Chain A
Amino acid sequence: MLRYAFKRAVLALLVAFTVSLVAFFLLNFATDPAEIIAGEDAEPEVVETIREQYGFNRPLIIQYGSWLAGLARGDWGESYYWRKPVAELVLEHAPVTIQLALMAVFVTLIVAIPLAVMAALRPNSLLDRMALSTAVMAQAVPNFWLGLIFIILFAVTIPIFPVSGDSSFAHFILPSIVLGTSSVPAVMRLTRTGLLEVLSSDYIRTAKSKGYRGFKLLTRHAMRNALLPVVSVLAIQLGHKLGSSVVVESVFALNGLGRLALDSIIGSDIPTVQMLVFVFAMVFVVLIFLSDLLNAWIDPRLRLG
């Protein structure tokens, strides 16, 4: 198990390194940081002075090396746009996105699991078809559209939720429903398939012969096994929520990492965008790493692969 964990960790680090390298070069090719710092109306001499001052005239690979060395020292650089250390910015905005992502995953769970159970208990029935259709619709609807519809319905027409902002728990309800909805199909289908498989297995037949029926059978015997693969998928979904909150945060004016990313892209703030790409990538890498370990722990055959 340790050897397996070490191999996955090395792979995860390589992925993180590659992502940071690609992000660094793409961002620096796309825009000139010296021009951004100097401003739109700056004279060419001012731009050149800044280029020298900040070391932007060095080869890109050297600049990348400096960035990587800074990262190793815990120095995430300084934002040109926000005029703040990037680490401070990320730490300030992260709680909003983490809360949103956790609540979105919670929404996914409370919608997807009951739907999956209903569908699995009556496979190919009208209920099953309806549950699947609901899940597909949830995935097909764009976040920004659903967000606006929810705002109109539940914040303007029936004003029970605030329209936008992040100053209270209530502000997170509508955005987390919107963000959580898109993950419903993946979790629902996986749970349904797992349940169908488990429900036809021998040990369930044994449990039934012992007199277990209905919810007791489901909760005590079937769900435990059926949900194991769902746990690892949920970890990925959590990472996905953290990284894909840009649209929802903009619609609901939440001041999280998504908004920070969007504003920084608009402001061509390379250090912040670079670090956010790296952070989002690392979140995925860590979560995938953890889910790999979890799967290997559940199924020892995977450790041999």
Chain B
Amino acid sequence: MVNLIRHIIASTVLIIALMMQTGLSFAGQADDRLVAAFQRGILSLDYVYTVKREYVILSELIDDGLFYTDPETLKTVPLAAKSYQMASETQIDVDLHQDIQFHDGSPFGADDVVYTFNWLLKKDTKTKRGRLIARWLDRVEKTGPYSVSFHLKFAYPLALQQLSRSAPLRKKGAYDDVPPGKTPAGHSHNGIGPYKVTGFVPGKETVLERFENYYSTSPKARPAIGTIVIRTIPDWSTQQAELFSGGVNWMFSVPTDIAVNAGTLPMVNFIAGPSMRIGFLVLDAAGLAKPGGPLTKLKVRQALNHAINREEIVKYLVKGKSSVIHAACHPLQFGCTRDVKSYSYDPARARKLLAEAGYPDGIDLDFWAYREKEVAEAIAADLEKANIHVNFRYVKLSTLNKARSQRRIESYFGSWASGSVADVAAIAARHFSPTSDRDLTGNRDVSNLMAAAEKIRDEDKRRTLYEEALGIIAEQAYWVPLYAFTLNYLTSPDIVFTPPRDGFPRLHKIRWRQTSASLLSR
């Protein structure tokens, strides 16, 4: 027995020694390998079939569109397109770079562009991106081996932006093997982006190598880091532990409390960046859920606006780079005026307004939320202080969507990231359109103004239309605009990462921090 115990101890020591040889691997500058941690798994490499943020970040690495949104200026510049010109209000002529290659080495040209857009515009391909594009794009035609023309249904001011974000270019015939009506698995990929996929295990890991034949004229530029590994680590604590131990270099969308605590440690950089996402309460002013209900009265909606202490929510709960907003848009967005009626936190005034509206004992309110639970609870608590008796319904997004489409929602805490597009159109099209179930205003003037601004290219006219529409929304208190979100990042100290203004991280811009040790090792 003693011998047996000796054997067990000896074997255990050997096993541990072996593990040390094989098990531990560190991300870092020495092997030019950056590890990014995602909480949600990447299940497909094809971005056109999803709208989730993780896929957008990945797509920016492995795909290129015709245009690119510069993260500093937020201007749209040509990417795979060499140049473009507006032939008319509804026609964009695009010349392509002639030195672009796909990751498999095949050349890129006009046929690939036409194929990509025809695929997106086809109804039965079920792409998430196609529907967005089909709203404004009629057809694309090849005008030369390296030139195409886009024919728009109307003068759409966001066309270039959508061409930059919503249409990653595919090789002609890329989807030929997909059976009609089916969605491609997206487990292999052939793009023209600065990184190519060299390993992919759905839900677990994606390995990207710098594409050495990436065209030198790209505004994305040649990436500084050779290998990027995207790992799925669902637990925040495990992500932190990986960061502390050198197994991960970059985490994003980290909850504020975790980010602030971890940021105090020397081996971690905490970076709070802006996000294009805004939070707001949508009020059933049209009485769709409760015809003739309290929210159909202006004074009640104004009372709600006065009842919520936005400053304290931002200061104590959201923190970071978040800020209070008063208009129904993100302050960075084109057309988002700050010159609208604002409502200060004043619960006494809110109670008075309720009494004036005929509710001296307050009102009962169904209040729905699906994310930021602690903020939603703080809002509910504020509303209670103002005599607004909340029936709090915290549900999954799909449940909220269903209830909203069935017109059963009196008020909800919504949020919208506008796909990181810095234009009011990106939020207005979904929230103030008579065809959208998110529009609870019942005010056709607002939707007409928003729609008009989306169909002209003249910037001054657009700005005027948005100012008027946003002014009505604030005057009529259709929403309770709350705050612009913050986006928290935790990084290892050896990387240089600048948080983007639009909240859409571009990992190809990350580089290693130059230290004396790193310079000596080269």
Where the two chains meet, the residues of A that have a C-beta atom closer than 8 Å to any C-beta of B are 31, 35-36, 39-41, 44, 53, 81-84, 110, 144, 148, 151-152, 155-156, 159-165, 167-171, 173, 215-216, 218-219, 250-253, 255, 259-260, 262-263, 268
Contact of A164 with B128 at beta-carbon distance under 8 Å, contacts A40-B398, A170-B24 already known:
no
Which chain B residues lie closer than 8 Å to A171 at the CB level? Answer: 23
Binds A, one of B149-157, B230-238, B444-452, B494-502: B230-238
Shortest CB–CB separation between residue B124 and chain A, in angstroms? 10
User: Which positions 231-249 of chain B face chain A at CB distance < 8 Å?
Assistant: 231-235, 237-238, 241-242, 244-245, 247
Check if B202 is an interface residue, CB within 8 A of chain A. Answer: yes
Which chain A residues lie closer than 8 Å to B51 at the CB level? Answer: 41
Complex contact A82–B231 (CB within 8 A): no
Complex contact B234–A259 (CB within 8 A): yes
Which chain A residues lie closer than 8 Å to B23 at the CB level? Answer: 161-162, 168-171
Complex contact A148–B237 (CB within 8 A): yes
Complex contact A170–B22 (CB within 8 A): yes
User: Which positions 396-413 of chain B face chain A at CB distance < 8 Å?
Assistant: 397-398, 401-402, 405
Binds A, one of B13-21, B325-333, B464-472: B13-21
In the bound complex, CA of A151 to CA of B243 (Å): 12
Complex contact A250–B235 (CB within 8 A): yes
Check if B147 is an interface residue, CB within 8 A of chain A. Answer: no
Which chain A residues lie closer than 8 Å to B10 at the CB level? Answer: none
Tell me which of A81, A110, A151, A160 has the highest count of chain B C-beta atoms within 10 A of its own C-beta.
A151
In the bound complex, CA of A123 to CA of B39 (Å): 49
In the bound complex, CA of A53 to CA of B126 (Å): 14
Which chain A residues lie closer than 8 Å to B401 at the CB level? Answer: 40
Shortest CB–CB separation between residue B166 and chain A, in angstroms? 14
In the bound complex, CA of A296 to CA of B15 (Å): 38
User: Which positions 106-129 of chain B face chain A at CB distance < 8 Å?
Assistant: 128
Which chain B residues lie closer than 8 Å to A151 at the CB level? Answer: 237-238, 241
Q: Looking at the complex, which one of B2, B24, B128, B244 makes contact with A162 (CB distance below 8 Å)?
A: B24
Complex contact A110–B241 (CB within 8 A): no
Which chain A residues lie closer than 8 Å to B185 at the CB level? Answer: 83-84
Complex contact B232–A253 (CB within 8 A): yes
Number of interface residues of B (CB under 8 A): 43
Complex contact A40–B397 (CB within 8 A): yes
Tell me which of A41, A160, A161, A163 has the highest count of chain B C-beta atoms within 10 A of its own C-beta.
A163
Complex contact A164–B402 (CB within 8 A): no
Complex contact B41–A263 (CB within 8 A): yes
Which chain A residues lie closer than 8 Å to B18 at the CB level? Answer: 169-170
In the bound complex, CA of A262 to CA of B203 (Å): 11
Contact of A251 with B247 at beta-carbon distance under 8 Å, contacts A83-B185, A152-B241 already known:
no
For this complex, 29 residue pairs linking A to B, each with C-beta atoms less than 8 Å apart, are: A31-B398, A35-B398, A41-B51, A41-B128, A82-B43, A83-B44, A84-B185, A144-B235, A148-B238, A152-B241, A156-B244, A160-B16, A161-B19, A162-B247, A163-B241, A163-B242, A163-B245, A163-B247, A164-B241, A165-B231, A168-B19, A170-B19, A173-B16, A251-B237, A253-B233, A253-B235, A253-B238, A255-B201, A263-B203
- Flag B195-239 by CB within 8 Å of A: 1 or 0 each: 000000111100000000000000000000000000111110110
User: Which positions 2-43 of chain B face chain A at CB distance < 8 Å?
Assistant: 2, 8, 15-16, 18-20, 22-25, 41, 43
Shortest CB–CB separation between residue A93 and chain B, in angstroms? 9
Complex contact A164–B181 (CB within 8 A): no
Shortest CB–CB separation between residue B364 and chain A, in angstroms? 29
Sorted from nearest, which 10 A-B pairs have the closest CB atoms? Answer: A170-B23, A170-B19, A215-B1, A168-B23, A255-B204, A83-B185, A253-B233, A151-B241, A163-B241, A163-B242
| Minimal Cβ-Cβ distance residue in A for B399 | A31
Which chain A residues lie closer than 8 Å to B244 at the CB level? Answer: 156
Which chain A residues lie closer than 8 Å to B255 at the CB level? Answer: none
Which chain B residues lie closer than 8 Å to A40 at the CB level? Answer: 397-398, 401
Which chain A residues lie closer than 8 Å to B233 at the CB level? Answer: 164, 253
- Flag B42-64 by CB within 8 Å of A: 1 or 0 each: 01100000010000000000000
Which chain B residues lie closer than 8 Å to A36 at the CB level? Answer: 398
Shortest CB–CB separation between residue B216 and chain A, in angstroms? 35
User: Which positions 453-474 of chain B face chain A at CB distance < 8 Å?
Assistant: none
- Flag B376-399 by CB within 8 Å of A: 1 or 0 each: 000000000000000000000110
Complex contact A164–B19 (CB within 8 A): no
Check if B186 is an interface residue, CB within 8 A of chain A. Answer: yes
Check if B183 is an interface residue, CB within 8 A of chain A. Answer: yes
Contact of A251 with B20 at beta-carbon distance under 8 Å, contacts A35-B402, A53-B181, A259-B203 already known:
no
Complex contact B22–A168 (CB within 8 A): yes
In the bound complex, CA of A260 to CA of B241 (Å): 22
Which chain A residues lie closer than 8 Å to B22 at the CB level? Answer: 168-170
| Minimal Cβ-Cβ distance residue in A for B22 | A168
| Minimal Cβ-Cβ distance residue in A for B19 | A170
Complex contact A159–B24 (CB within 8 A): yes
Complex contact B2–A215 (CB within 8 A): yes
User: Which positions 133-157 of chain B face chain A at CB distance < 8 Å?
Assistant: none
In the complex, given contacts A165-B231, A170-B19, what are 13 additional A-B residue pairs having Cβ atoms less than 8 angstroms apart? A40-B401, A41-B51, A82-B43, A83-B183, A144-B235, A155-B245, A156-B241, A164-B238, A167-B25, A170-B18, A173-B16, A216-B1, A263-B41
Shortest CB–CB separation between residue B438 and chain A, in angstroms? 10
Shortest CB–CB separation between residue B77 and chain A, in angstroms? 29
Which chain A residues lie closer than 8 Å to B241 at the CB level? Answer: 148, 151-152, 155-156, 163-164
| Minimal Cβ-Cβ distance residue in B for A165 | B231
In the bound complex, CA of A13 to CA of B184 (Å): 37
Q: Looking at the complex, which one of B19, B186, B238 makes contact with A169 (CB distance below 8 Å)?
A: B19
Tell me which of B184, B186, B241 has the highest count of chain A C-beta atoms within 10 A of its own C-beta.
B241
Complex contact A160–B20 (CB within 8 A): yes
In the bound complex, CA of A200 to CA of B185 (Å): 64
Shortest CB–CB separation between residue A106 and chain B, in angstroms? 11
Which chain B residues lie closer than 8 Å to A156 at the CB level? Answer: 241, 244-245
In the bound complex, CA of A164 to CA of B241 (Å): 9
Which chain A residues lie closer than 8 Å to B232 at the CB level? Answer: 253, 255
In the bound complex, CA of A170 to CA of B17 (Å): 10
Shortest CB–CB separation between residue A43 and chain B, in angstroms? 9
In the bound complex, CA of A145 to CA of B166 (Å): 42
Complex contact A44–B405 (CB within 8 A): yes
| Minimal Cβ-Cβ distance residue in A for B44 | A83
